[in-house]
Amino acid sequence: MMVMMMMMLKLKLMTNDVVCLVSTEFCNMETFNATCRRAEIVLIDDARYGRMKLGRCVTRSYGHLGCAADVRHILDARCSGRRACQFIVPDPTLYSMQPCPEDFTSYLETTYSCVEGFVFCCRCQRADQCSTTVRLSFIGVKFEK
């Protein structure tokens, strides 16, 4: 699924439409918030949880920088294909990853974009069984959520 979503982002870029990639870090106890305009959906490009670099969330290394887990698949399942996605960092799933020694606080670093699309549901028993369709200027692509 992620390969197809990456292909969709590249196709969108080739149409000369502007796609704004939002890259941010969310510190401990902050709220991750990806919200798109009407008729757009979130597309997670990258997501890592750990102590990647010094910055706003990590001000001293204490010898532990660069430890991180790739959590793109987690955020992709939770957020891609939706108009909005919010949760407190770390949530239990991210916290259980423990990419760094547990005495050190980790943070979430994400890159996402909003692309034209919509979510529809036909005879779904649960929301996670819905299909997501992303429409691009010259091609229609459907992937299962």
Q: Which of 39, 34, 55, 53 is nearest to 113 (CA)?
A: 34
Question: Based on the number of CB atoms within 10 Å of its own CB, is 56 exposed (0-12), middle (13-18) or buried (19 or more)?
Answer: exposed
CA distance from start to end of the chain = 8
Listed by start position, the domains of the chain span 2-144
By the 10 Å C-beta count (0-12 exposed, 13-18 middle, 19+ buried), 64 is classed as middle
**Eight-state DSSP code of residue 126:** S
Average confidence (pLDDT) per 10 residues, the chain, 145 residues: 34 46 87 91 93 91 88 94 92 89 90 79 50 37 39
What is the Cα gyration radius of the chain? 16
Exposure letters 16-29 (e unless 16+ CB within 10 A, then b): eeeeeeeeebbeee
User: If one looks up domain 2-144 in CATH, what number appears?
Assistant: 2.60.120.740
What are the pLDDT digits (tens) for 88-130?
998 899 988 889 888 888 999 999 999 887 655 444 555 555 5
